[in-house]
Structure 1
Amino acid sequence: MSVHAKKNRSSSPLAQVVREYRDKYTLTQEQLANDLSIDVRTLRRWESGDTLLHDVRELRRIATLLGAEPERLGIAKSTYTILTVDQIDAVLHHVWELIHVARSYEANNLIERLLQDLNTQIVTENPVLLQKLAQALHLAGYVKSVITRANEASYSLNYYREMERVSRLIRNDTLLNIALTYEGDMYCRGGDIQKGITYLEAARDTTPKADVAARGNGIQLLGRAYLRAGRIDDFENVMALAEELSYQVDPQQSSTCGQYSPGTVYEEYGRSYTHLGDMQKAMEYLDKAEKSLEPTKHWEILIKTARAMALVRGGEIKSGAELAVESIEQCREHGTIRLMERIYGVQKYLDHLTREIGMVGATLREALDGPIEY
């Protein structure tokens, strides 16, 4: 085969899309093959151009999972069909998996692409497709909250508002509960605690048919809001209920897709007791959380940032600061910007401590040596 023929073969649309995707997200061939549920040898043949793929359904599946325009893989618009429910579910599952392994920017691009496809596809009030749209909005809001800072909470809030609208349209209490819960959480994140509590209490009180995972997740976040509002008794009461409900959730069927479990409740307790100044309880709960949560990169970073906060506030400043630096590096690498907010909190606390120590030191120096003469 001539050099020119080899070049054309390796420049096939599929080869280009696969290579670009791997380069953009710094993935190995093994990682991408696993994402696409194919053998790594097959991926290598695609990428090198040794194998040309002509199955339109398979090309459409690949385009969907890579967030690529089907036309880029040589599929004419007139020849590919709309996404099936199974295909939509496959993308939703894949994006949640990306979140679990902290591939946040990749997850964001894929869910944005899916939403574009769904909004184009849904032209009637088909309850099944509207349910999938609501689930995609839930995921889009969650992903956006992971990759943005607190002052950008409005980006996620917009998705959750639309999720609320769709959920009311199809009268689905579970999805409505999730929408109201995260609307409340975003208001709290943006600093409007009372408005956040209003939404979180509405999620608890106005969605009687919501499943246990949605209800428990909402109650856990309500506990967080109560703590921020200084309502300590209310915090203790609802967190006890959140812990009780978490043991009733089937992880394989959870409407929160792994974001609510005994481990997340323990982590919430750990951070909460850090802020309340009970470092022994904080560390005990963080230990329990680490043992309960799946050993994924997402939970690893979550626990690490929580430990950094607890160590610094507990007086182990050097150890806490070292852990905080590790956390910053991982947050930046994986796009978990929301968790960096915790480290900003650590820095703010240290700045406050430094000022206080400086003032106390100045008072002692003056008592020992007298006023400084100028």
Structure 2
Amino acid sequence: MMSLALILKEHREKYGLTQLQLAETLHVDERTLRRWEHQETRLTDVRELRRLASVLGVAAERLGVTDQAGGISPEQADETLHHVWQLIAAARFFEARAVAERLVAELQTNAPCPGCQAHLYRLTQAHRVTAYVRSENTRTSEVRYPLASYRAMEQTARLLDDPPLLALALAFEGEMYTRVGEVNTGNEYLETALGIAPDEDSPAKGAVALLLAKGYFKAGQRGAYERWMAEAEARAEQVTGDSVIGEPFGLKAVYAEYGRSSALLGNLHQALEYIERAQHLPPFGTYWDLVLKTTTVMALIRGGEIQCGVALAVECIELCRKHGAFRLLERIYRMQQYLQCLTTSLEQSTALLREALDGPIEY
């Protein structure tokens, strides 16, 4: 067992947080946190220690809670789920992943009334947020980790008989296959998900349509891409609020995808227009800043503004590494590969012209 003081200091050092930032994360006063760290106050409230353990993503035993008979309470689970989505919105992916994975473990092994509907629902939501943060925090070569979580989400959603959650699980499973290049398999999952998502559930139906559009874009089927993007946009217009809870779907996500696809097609001005429209829409936060910055890098480099694009790319590399946004970092790797191919092509063309002008080089 470690003392609360040591665990708090360890957490701040691991994730680069100030005392004020950690106090805000734990929903306590900064002076209270300072007293805990300096061991001026000893916390003995078991319920509060369990709450802190959930938010910090550590086993309650590490804080001295030996009586686990009650397990994680429904209120603690709900608070932790909300907390993880907030961490994701702030692009604190390392921290979010640790907390989410601990929550899944707690719900699987130490929750009251295991197997009841309420427990299954929370476990499904825990698998959901874990899968999402894993997908953002891993490279394509490690896609098996988020895929395993989405499969677990699918299994519990089937036990719940919850069509919206099942549709989302299948849709994101499909996206993981698309991400590794298995586009046909991915689109099969997505089309199945589209048939399951209730028509009256615009967030679920729209999110699936957006992922399906991305799959068709990767497959080179422009007509299908445009059709499903139009469907996603129509659904997004029906989504109200700027909640950070759940996978990002709304007009901001739709415009960001229009910007990304326009960038890949080399349509610089169109891409920048969509990016600007997305920037002015909620939700706001560090995650979306990174999404739109990396999209801008793609637009500038593919649109011929290479120097500006590379300068912004260098900034994005540092930010993505700092936040653990490895999926977004892969966008920069792909731009580096694009520039390498462009350089090779230019060198070959230069050599051909030089030979035509000056004759072959003799050795």
Which TM-score applies when normalising by structure 2?
0.96
1:32 is matched with which residue?
22
Q: Quick one: distance in 1 between partners of 2:199 and 2:155?
A: 17
2:54 is matched with which residue?
64
* Match status 1:239 vs 2:229: yes
The counterpart of 1:111, out of the listed 87, 96, 100, is 100
The counterpart of 2:310, out of the listed 312, 321, 325, is 321
Q: Quick one: distance in 1 between partners of 2:266 and 2:196?
A: 34
SS in 2 for 1:292: coil
Q: Quick one: distance in 2 between partners of 1:138 and 1:47?
A: 33
Q: Quick one: distance in 1 between partners of 2:338 and 2:7?
A: 46
Higher gyration radius (CA): 1
The AA in structure 2 aligned to 1:283 is L
* Match status 1:172 vs 2:138: no
* Match status 1:299 vs 2:305: no
Alignment of 1:267-278 (within 5 A): 267-278=256-267
* Gap regions ≥5 residues in structure 1: 1-10
Residue pair 2:132, 2:247 contacting (<8 A) in 1 also: no
1:6 is matched with which residue?
none
Q: Quick one: distance in 1 between partners of 2:281 and 2:6?
A: 42
Residue pair 1:263, 1:290 contacting (<8 A) in 2 also: yes
Mean Cα deviation higher: 103-112 or 272-281? 272-281
Q: Quick one: distance in 2 between partners of 1:300 and 1:315?
A: 23
Residue pair 1:184, 1:200 contacting (<8 A) in 2 also: yes
Cα-to-partner distance string for 1:201-254 (whole Å, 9 max, x where unaligned):
111112336722111111101101000111101111110111111121233678
Residue pair 2:258, 2:271 contacting (<8 A) in 1 also: yes
1:81 is matched with which residue?
70
**What's the offset of the Cα at 1:292?**
1.3
Q: Quick one: distance in 2 between partners of 1:184 and 1:40?
A: 44
Mean Cα deviation higher: 237-246 or 210-219? 210-219
Count, aligned residues: 362
Q: Quick one: distance in 2 between partners of 1:279 and 1:220?
A: 22
Q: Quick one: distance in 2 between partners of 1:131 and 1:153?
A: 25
The counterpart of 1:158, out of the listed 135, 148, 171, is 148
**What's the offset of the Cα at 1:121?**
3.1
Q: Which runs of 4+ in 1 moved over 4 A?
A: none
Residue pair 2:129, 2:246 contacting (<8 A) in 1 also: no
1:90 is matched with which residue?
79
Mean Cα deviation higher: 261-270 or 288-297? 288-297
SS in 1 for 2:239: coil
1:141 is matched with which residue?
131
* Match status 1:331 vs 2:320: yes
Residue pair 2:167, 2:197 contacting (<8 A) in 1 also: yes
2:7 is matched with which residue?
17
**What's the offset of the Cα at 1:263?**
0.6
1:7 is matched with which residue?
none
2:33 is matched with which residue?
43
* Gap regions ≥5 residues in structure 2: none
**What's the offset of the Cα at 1:125?**
2.5
